[in-house]
Chains A and B, each alone.
Chain A
Amino acid sequence: MVALSTDSSALRDRRQTARAAHIWLIGLLLISSVASLAIGASGTSLWAALDKLAQGQELDLMERVVLWDIRLPRLVTGIVVGASLAVSGAVMQGLFRNPLADPGIVGVTSGATLGAIIAIVLGPLLPLAFLGTAMLPVFAFVGAWVSMVLLYRVATRAGRTSVATMLLAGIALAALGGALSGLMIYSADDDQLRDVTFWGLGSLAGATWAKVLIAGPIILGALLVSMTLGRGLNGLALGEAAANHIGIAVQRTKTIAILSVAAGVGAAVAISGGIGFIGIVVPHLLRLATGPDHRMLIVNSALLGASLLLLADVISRVVIAPAELPIGIVTAILGAPVFIWILIRSRGVVDL
């Protein structure tokens, strides 16, 4: 069902649930944010630091570094990355009318991975030393963007983008990216192989203010643009022809959806590596709980995606402290069983 009209009472109910969910999810995000600032391997206490600040005392070096240079950039990174992955998942599932769609489907992930691997393996050989630690994220973002533009060009004929072509070409491009990545991996040394593996598992541990300031605005911009897509995606759920007849600017919706996902996920993956599962699970959970209206779904996805990634990050940094588990492992280990359990419980829901 598509929520285009409001005259069905069942629909209105779910829309109200979805509105109420805004409040709950904002609350969850606040709790997760506090947890993210307060919990960590070091004994540094957020409350003690706030107390000191309230009394006008100086923070000591350890408190300043842990809270300001480690936990706070991690918090911001977690929020924008989690929101971006979840919203992109919702947008892609809406655009492709396919519950299995995730940002990977427009080639963003394979492109970013290839870019990252090139930076890890060939980086030391390239005359780009001035990029320093920014090289990997820059390459990953460029890789994501290049592969998305390629796919979009392939799938667009005479001003119309074929979603089916994009899906198929995306699979082909991912295979090509995988092959090129394999070529890089073959010529990598042991240390680089470990770096590639860890990058693929994702982590917020490398979060710095520099990365937040560069990637943050790109992701926020993409998120804001995505928020305008709700009505268009609701229309597209009826099929492209029907959507066109009820006055949806179909091509415009597609273009904006693809560009915002590429920008947002490209930047998110660039600073955090491969974090799976958030993009596919969050929109589904919300659809099951609050219905398929994209206008609500996109906002709620942003809130829930951010909260879940922050909680996963807290777990990743305390569970084997003082070492840290890559966050991709946490999101999948916790997310997959919960998702399967929800699917079993709501077996009645056949249409996702």
Chain B
Amino acid sequence: MITRRDFGLIGLAFAAQSGLGHAAQYNRILSIGGSVTEIIYALDQGHRLIARDTTSTYPPQALDLPDVGYARALAAEGVLSVGPELIIAEEGAGPPETIDLLEQSNIPFITAPDTYSRQGVLDKIRVVGDALQVPEKASTLARKVDGEIAAATHGITNGDQKRVLFIISTQGGRITASGIDTAADGMISLAGGINAISSFTGYKQVSDEAITAAAPDTILMMDRGGDHGAPDNVLFNMPAIATTPAGQNRSVIRMNGLLLLGFGPRTGQAVKQLNTALYG
């Protein structure tokens, strides 16, 4: 006798089957957002990618893919022209007009959450894994990243946490630093540090005196040239920084921007690197 429960199971079996049939079709994937692209490669699904956005710069083979432009200013026709069957985007992709048009074109559009926390990374990996129909691989990756983060922060006690100031730019002698609710803030706390500035959200220009008052033990910066990088002697000669413990000990940590702030599959590695640099 077939019960309602059995019907349900049969239904599920069908759904799973048709789901799998569908998965085989999605071999032309457009990835929007550096961390999403990284996750796709980390799940060994890089061969299914046909295009990327400007922020997807890692791993290096991603650079060979056509670039559909900046994630928040996508043009509908450009996106359609690469012929995607599935689009996976980091939260915040747009503009909404373009997203509407893509939905009208019956191209599934999956948004991966972007929160700057341990759980946030794991959720992002799972969402991308589900979209690619490789949930087992995603679980494995998520567990691995989770383990790496846990291992990296092992043994930090509250008493000896260091105060870290993340500086995004020293353009023209003015320091733009991270407050709370940013990727930098999330990384600092994951690595067992304390963000030296907690009085505002986002990245803002900070006065010299506020930096002195923040009294960071170390400075954290992105390791890239141009206007963002300041050589050590310039950095530590800035009056605001010279007075801080970080300035007196000439303590600065430089890390690759996407590694540090991407909250992708290398988060564990980034946490470990930052943690080691902080507490050695």
Contact = CB atoms under 8 A, between A and B. Distances in A.
Interface of A: 40-43, 61-62, 65-66, 69-71, 132-133, 186, 188-191, 194-195, 198, 203, 205-208, 317, 320-324, 326
B78 A189 contact: no
B75 A317 contact: yes
B72 A198 contact: yes
A133 B98 CA distance: 11
A323 B54 contact: yes
A321 B98 contact: no
B76 interface: yes
Contact of A203 (B73, B79, B204): B73
B70 interface: yes
Nearest to A197: B73
A42 B77 contact: yes
B101 A70 contact: yes
Nearest to A132: B96
Interface string B202-213: 111000000000
19 contacts: A41-B81, A42-B77, A62-B105, A66-B80, A69-B76, A133-B96, A133-B97, A189-B203, A205-B73, A205-B95, A208-B97, A208-B100, A317-B75, A321-B78, A322-B51, A322-B75, A322-B79, A323-B54, A324-B73
The 9 A-B pairs of least Cβ separation, nearest first, read A323-B69, A42-B81, A322-B78, A41-B81, A324-B75, A189-B202, A205-B75, A206-B97, A41-B78
B233 interface: no
B185 interface: no
B201 interface: yes
Contact of A41 (B70, B77, B96): B77
B61 interface: no
Contacts of A326: 73
Contacts of A62: 80, 105
Most A-side CB within 10 Å, residue of B68, B73, B96:
B73
B104 interface: yes
Contacts, number: 96
A190 B67 CA distance: 21
Nearest to A205: B75
Contacts of B253: none
A65 B69 contact: no
Interface in B28-78: 51, 54, 66-70, 72-73, 75-78
A43 B81 contact: yes
Nearest to B82: A322
B104 A323 contact: no
B147 interface: no
Nearest to A186: B204
A195 B72 contact: yes
B33 to A, nearest CB: 12
A136 B186 CA distance: 31
Given A133-B96, A194-B70, A194-B72, A322 B104 contact: no
Contact of B67 (A133, A317, A323): A323
B158 interface: no
- Chain B interface residue number, banded: 20 to 34
Contacts of A322: 51, 66-69, 75, 78-79, 81-82
Contacts of A69: 76, 101, 104
A65 B202 CA distance: 38
Interface in B79-99: 79-82, 92, 95-98
A165 to B, nearest CB: 37
A196 to B, nearest CB: 11
Nearest to B201: A189
Nearest to A206: B97
B106 interface: yes
Contacts of B95: 133, 205-206
Given A65-B104, A191-B72, A323 B204 contact: no
Interface centre among B51, B66, B77, B104 (most CB of A within 10 A): B77
Among A61, A65, A191, the one with the most B-chain Cβ atoms within 10 Å of its Cβ is A65
Given A186-B204, A190-B203, A206-B95, A40 B72 contact: no
Contacts of A317: 75, 77-78
B92 A324 contact: no
Nearest to A133: B96
A191 B92 contact: yes
Contacts of B72: 191, 194-195, 198
B77 A71 contact: yes
B241 to A, nearest CB: 22
Contacts of A65: 76, 80, 101, 104-105
A189 B68 CA distance: 24
B132 to A, nearest CB: 22
A71 B76 CA distance: 10
Nearest to A326: B73
A41 B98 CA distance: 15
Contacts of B54: 323
